[in-house]
Structure formats: C-alpha cells, structure tokens
Amino acid sequence: MATTQAQKKEVKQLIKQLSKQLGLKSRSEAYFSKYRDYFIYYVPTFGFPDNKFSFSVIAYIKPFVIDDVFWDVFDMKGNSKEPISLRAVGSFKVIGAPVVFSSEREQLEGLDIAGYILARWKKVHEEVLEIIDNLASFEDFLKNVKELDNRYMYSHDLMMMLLLIHNKHYKKAKEIAEELLSKKEMGRYQNKGKWINEYILDYCNERMT
C-alpha cells in the first residue's frame, strides 16, 4: 500500500495529540516534560515498511539545570529565560542521555494506529519515570549513563564537566577540559570562534582566581 503525504501528516498530528495524554508538551516534533529535577524529551519516528506500521522513539533525560549551566559557561545566559522547549529543540543545548530506545512494527491491516502508538509510548514513558525515580543524585545519574557516551551524540564528558561546575568543583572540571584540549578534543559547540571546552577552561580559571 502506497503511503501518501496526507497519511504521514495524519500520523504526525496523531502523535502530537497522543503526547498530551502522557502529559507532554511539543515543539517541532520533539515532545518534552520536566519531571522532578530532570528534563525528558522524546524524538518519535514512524514509517510504513512492507505493509507494516513501524514506530520508534528515543527517550533522552538530563538534569534540568544542565542547560542553564551550559548557557552561562557558553556566553548565552539569556537562553535561560526562553521557553523550556529550547532545552529540547535548540541548536545550542546539552544533548541528554538516551536512556531508552524502542522500535517495533506491526501489520498495518486492521491496526489501531493510535492505540498502538499510545501503548508503546506509554510503556517507554513509564520506564523513563522509573529510571528517574531510582536516581538518588546527579552523581548517581552520571554513573548510570556513562556507558551511553557518544550514543545519539550524547557527550558524557560535557555532562560531567557541567555538573562539576554546577557543584562549584571548578578544579576537577578544569582538569578534564585541559585533558580533552590536549588531545585536540574541542567539543561539539562553537560560539564567537571559541569551542565549548575552551569556554569551560576559561570559566573555571576565572572562578579559581
């Protein structure tokens, strides 16, 4: 069965409607919420392969405060006053740890697509909330997501340095930044001709003097 643009548009609208049943807000096909001290955002995708319907969703989590620290360090402090959707869709945001990935497909004929999406997304959402409920601290979070480094563009080094800065452990954050820079690892983000790891080094130096 050929998939029309109208069908794809209909499913996109359906996903947006279903996200509200999970208490999520949306912007630019990203779906997000704040839960306890964490920011959750989802990136769902779907398709119609071989007369089947496929639905995939990646769940990202990060400490809610992490983007505020990032923007302060990165000379973009004004972003903290923007809507929280910026933490999900902004070009300059800390990419969360991809804690859950789900991808399933089912025969399209006779399928209740809305029910299918909702059931699988709800299961993922409940799993994410349980993960957060079991985190005793941000240090606990770091330990649990370390193995996810470089998966879906997640940078564990960046997350760790920013949390160290949040806790005013400038010396340790500086040491990590120096080690990365010594290996020519500048970080993913650049602002005004300067890379994020350079910003972190300078930020820490200023607060240690």
pLDDT, position 3: 60
In this prediction the pTM is 0.93
Strand 194-195 versus strand 38-47 pairing type: unpaired
pLDDT, position 209: 77
User: Residue 1 pLDDT > 50, yes or no?
Assistant: no
pLDDT, position 64: 98
User: Which pLDDT tens digit goes with each residue over 108-118?
Assistant: 999 999 999 99
User: Which pLDDT tens digit goes with each residue over 23-66?
Assistant: 999 998 899 999 999 999 999 999 999 899 999 999 999 999 99
Computed over every residue of the chain, the mean pLDDT equals 95
Q: Any residues with CB less than 8 A from the CB of 29 and at least 6 apart, and which?
A: 12, 43, 44
Q: Any residues with CB less than 8 A from the CB of 165 and at least 6 apart, and which?
A: 69, 73, 173, 200, 203, 204
